[in-house]
């Protein structure tokens, strides 16, 4: 550290060395985690295709999925992502990913926005029949 600016940089370098890292904030996801999650998506797609092939699901049911099936698939994928990250890293998952419970105002705005969108779609979509 011999140099003209050594005395000015010394406090900065000491502060960097002495401050402990924040383990909750550092990223720990890797390409292996992403690949594992994509493999889960492929498996879910194969299971749905097999269910259609074995006539457990109609092909018309897959064209327009019902809300319950959509919620089931989204929940399954969310739980799979949580399990992959939790089992592979053994560290907290929710906070580093930025998943937070929204405040009441955002919940109210999303519900109101959904109702307005449904009413607009219903009003502007021509009736068939």
Of 121, 107, 91, 109, nearest to 29 (Cα)? 91
% residues pLDDT > 90 (the chain)? 28
pLDDT tens digits, one per residue of 19-35: 555 555 555 677 888 89
Of 51, 54, 82, nearest to 65 (Cα)? 51
The most confident of the ranges 11-20, 32-41, 48-57, 91-100 is 32-41
Sequence ranges of the domains in the chain: 6-100
Q: Measured on CA atoms in the order 101, 104, 109, 111, is the torsion positive or negative?
A: positive
pLDDT tens digits, one per residue of 60-79: 877 777 888 888 989 999 99
Distance of CA 128 to the CA centre of its chain: 37
Who contacts 24 (Cβ-Cβ below 8 Å, separation ≥6)? Answer: 91, 92, 95, 96
């Amino acid at each position: 550290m011999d140099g003209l600016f050594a005395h000015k940089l010394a406090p900065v370098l000491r502060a960097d060395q002495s401050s402990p890292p924040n383990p909750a904030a550092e990223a720990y996801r890797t390409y292996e985690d992403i690949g594992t999650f994509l493999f889960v998506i492929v498996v879910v797609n194969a299971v749905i295709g097999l269910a259609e092939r074995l006539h457990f699901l109609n092909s018309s049911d897959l064209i327009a999925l019902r809300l319950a099936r959509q919620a089931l698939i989204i929940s399954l994928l969310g739980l799979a992502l949580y399990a992959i990250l939790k089992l592979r890293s053994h560290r907290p998952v929710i906070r580093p990913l930025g998943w937070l419970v929204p405040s009441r105002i955002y919940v109210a705005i999303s519900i109101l926005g959904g109702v307005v969108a449904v009413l607009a779609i219903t009003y502007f979509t021509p009736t068939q029949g």
